[in-house]
């Protein structure tokens, strides 16, 4: 009935989901958008709240305040399925719409209206992306959204839930498999001795008791002399890391850098060794999408030249390092004519170590996708979580206190920068900028600026300007538009020739260690003709 989209430019970053949202609106669903920029979804929304970047937590807490104040909460759901309600209620007691308006610049009457629309719906879903998480308060932002879903009973039923829209086609699958130093596959905790023992037995070798680093912690660890070597697979941090010049200098300090990718990326250009990898169309496996749906991926063509799929590369390195004790010892891969792990073998191992996928197999997936949890061979999968109660027992209502961004505007850097994607480009452009059709559709970076700010700075549309922060500077044309409010500018982050992440802030959320890429202080001005050009390349 209602969709709350916050921190997500869905029609550009997730266009298929965005089209489905627009179709739902045409069928009668109501759309609430909370975004600092005027995005396409705003044109179809029942309400658009234009919060200042970095103030999402205050806005969400105010929505919760109104719902509790006006008795719009789902009391029976709260009683049966949540804990810590009284402490949570006390934590939002002072989060009035007027309090939030002073912080967010969203009018109090809009907050009141949004709370009523959301709470009075039979089902209301929340959809968010990095606009919520890439903040020093990112974890708290997500917890605040969970509070909103819990107090309105919007879990465990169609059209509801807390729905993070994943940024790539297998981010969910990578998360499920433990690409995080705090978890093993299946979100089994690393700090649990019994879990470590389980995986030690499964893998036939003792698992280290020392946790690893989050990706955002690696540059500082290199600078501190704690890391001498690094193996990067399928990532381009020279462009994608906030404060990317800091990352570049750190990688240049490494004794040994290996990059495994399908193209020679900006990061690969720094590597001592580049391992050519296979693309999605050149390997077998599975992808797990945003809704936990596991789908088969089948090799369509062989990899070109010396390229190999990631499994084979890892296996080859393991055998070189460990000899007879390393690597896979199964049958010969028919493509490479060498002993190499097959994706089916790895998938079979996954089903033995994670009960949520125990009922899956390639044979079943060949008949169609399955959604985990799927604990048995006759289980149909679970499209909607929490239908029989909250998985953890009861949903925790978090008591939160709002904190602002790490960096705020001042006299030297008076503007707020937020970054994001455009429809025709993908992340750092490693693939999309090699496609003439896509590149021609969105060939270059720009900085969106409100007409009032442009007028004060004496800038005209399409004029090349310099944008700079405490960390770096870039040159790019200005696009004068009312899509951004006065005091806010927007730069897409795909373009190496005007790399937005040279400007962004690498301050971390203390809990999950995500960087605050979505808000920092910058200045924009005319180019000094005598000043040397500053570019990433």
Question: Does the domain formed by 415-526 have CATH 2.40.160.100?
Answer: no
Q: Which part of the chain is CATH 3.40.228.10?
A: 2-165
- Residue 436, classed as helix, strand or coil, is helix
DSSP annotation of 454 reads H
What pLDDT is attached to residue 391?
Answer: 85
Would you state the torsion angle of the CA atoms of residues 227, 320, 353, 330, taken in this order, to the nearest 10 degrees?
A: 170
Distance set, CA 334 to CA 147, 314, 331 (Å): 52, 18, 9
Instruction: Give the span between the Cα atoms of 87 and 397, in whole angstroms.
Output: 8
Neighbouring C-beta atoms of residue 304, cutoff 10 Å: 11
Block mean pLDDT (10 aa), the chain, length 537 = 97 96 98 98 98 97 98 97 97 98 98 98 97 96 98 96 91 92 94 95 90 94 97 96 96 98 97 97 94 95 94 89 72 62 88 96 96 97 93 93 94 97 94 96 97 98 97 97 97 96 96 96 90 52
- pTM, whole model, 2 decimals? 0.93
The closest alpha carbon to 237, from 213, 268, 206, belongs to 268
What pLDDT is attached to residue 536?
Answer: 44
What pLDDT is attached to residue 537?
Answer: 47
- Cα angle 464, 469, 470 (rounded to 5 degrees) comes to 150
The closest alpha carbon to 358, from 339, 377, 340, belongs to 377
- 371, 381 contact by CB (below 8 A): yes
Query: Count of residues for the chain?
Result: 537
- 2, 123 contact by CB (below 8 A): yes
- Residue 72, classed as helix, strand or coil, is coil
Name the CATH architecture for the domain at 2-165. 3-Layer(aba) Sandwich (3.40)
The closest alpha carbon to 314, from 335, 343, 356, belongs to 343
Q: Which part of the chain is CATH 3.40.50.740?
A: 171-321+362-371
Q: Which part of the chain is CATH 2.40.40.20?
A: 415-526
Q: What CATH topology corresponds to 171-321+362-371?
A: Rossmann fold (3.40.50)
């Amino acid at each position: 009935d209602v969709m709350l989209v916050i921190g997500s430019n869905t029609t550009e970053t997730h266009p298929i989901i965005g089209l489905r949202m627009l179709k739902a609106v045409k069928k009668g669903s109501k759309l609430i958008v909370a975004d600092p920029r005027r995005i396409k979804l705003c044109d179809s929304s029942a309400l658009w709240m234009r919060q200042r970047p970095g103030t999402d937590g205050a806005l969400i807490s105010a929505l919760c305040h109104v719902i509790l104040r006006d008795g719009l909460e789902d009391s029976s759901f709260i009683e049966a399925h949540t804990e810590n309600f009284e402490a949570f209620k006390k934590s939002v007691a002072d989060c009035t719409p007027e309090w939030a308006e002073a912080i967010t610049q969203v009018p109090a009457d809009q907050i009141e209206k949004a709370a009523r629309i959301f709470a009075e719906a039979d089902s209301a879903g929340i959809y968010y992306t990095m606009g919520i998480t890439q903040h020093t308060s990112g974890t708290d932002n997500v917890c605040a959204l969970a509070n909103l879903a819990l107090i309105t009973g919007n879990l465990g039923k169609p059209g509801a839930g807390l729905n993070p829209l994943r940024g790539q086609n297998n981010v969910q699958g990578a998360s499920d498999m433990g690409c995080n130093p705090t978890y093993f596959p299946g979100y089994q905790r690393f700090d649990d001795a019994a879990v470590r023992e389980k995986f030690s037995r499964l893998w036939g070798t003792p698992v280290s008791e020392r946790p690893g680093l989050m990706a955002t912690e690696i540059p500082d660890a290199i600078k501190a002399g704690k890391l001498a070597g690094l193996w990067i697979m399928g990532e381009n941090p020279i462009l994608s890391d906030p404060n990317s010049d800091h990352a570049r200098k750190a990688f240049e300090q490494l004794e040994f850098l290996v990059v495994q990718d399908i193209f020679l990326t900006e990061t690969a250009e720094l590597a001592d060794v580049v391992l050519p990898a296979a693309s999605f169309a050149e390997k077998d496996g599975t992808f797990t999408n945003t809704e936990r749906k596991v789908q088969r991926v089948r090799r369509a063509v062989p990899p070109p030249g010396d390229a190999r799929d990631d499994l084979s590369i890892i296996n080859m390195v393991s055998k070189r390092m460990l000899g007879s004790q390393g690597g896979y010892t199964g049958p010969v891969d028919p493509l490479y004519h060498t002993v190499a792990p097959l994706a089916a073998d790895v998938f079979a191992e996954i089903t033995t170590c994670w009960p949520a996928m125990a009922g899956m197999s390639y044979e079943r997936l060949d008949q169609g996708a399955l959604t985990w949890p799927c604990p048995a061979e006759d289980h149909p999968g679970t499209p909607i979580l929490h239908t029989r109660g909250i998985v953890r027992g009861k949903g925790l209502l978090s008591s939160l206190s709002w904190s602002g961004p790490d960096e705020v505007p001042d006299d030297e850097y008076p503007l707020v920068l937020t970054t994001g994607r455009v429809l025709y480009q993908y992340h750092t452009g490693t693939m999309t900028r090699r496609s003439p059709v896509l590149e021609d559709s969105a060939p270059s970076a720009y900085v969106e600026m409100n007409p009032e700010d442009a007028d004060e700075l004496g800038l005209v549309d399409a004029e090349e300007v310099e944008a700079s922060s405490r960390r770096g500077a870039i040159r790019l044309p200005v696009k004068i538009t009312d899509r951004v409010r006065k005091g806010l500018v927007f730069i897409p982050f795909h373009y190496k020739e005007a790399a937005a992440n040279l400007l962004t802030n690498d301050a971390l959320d203390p809990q999950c260690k995500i960087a605050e890429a979505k808000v920092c202080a910058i200045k924009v001005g005319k180019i000094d003709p005598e000043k040397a050009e500053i570019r990433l390349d």
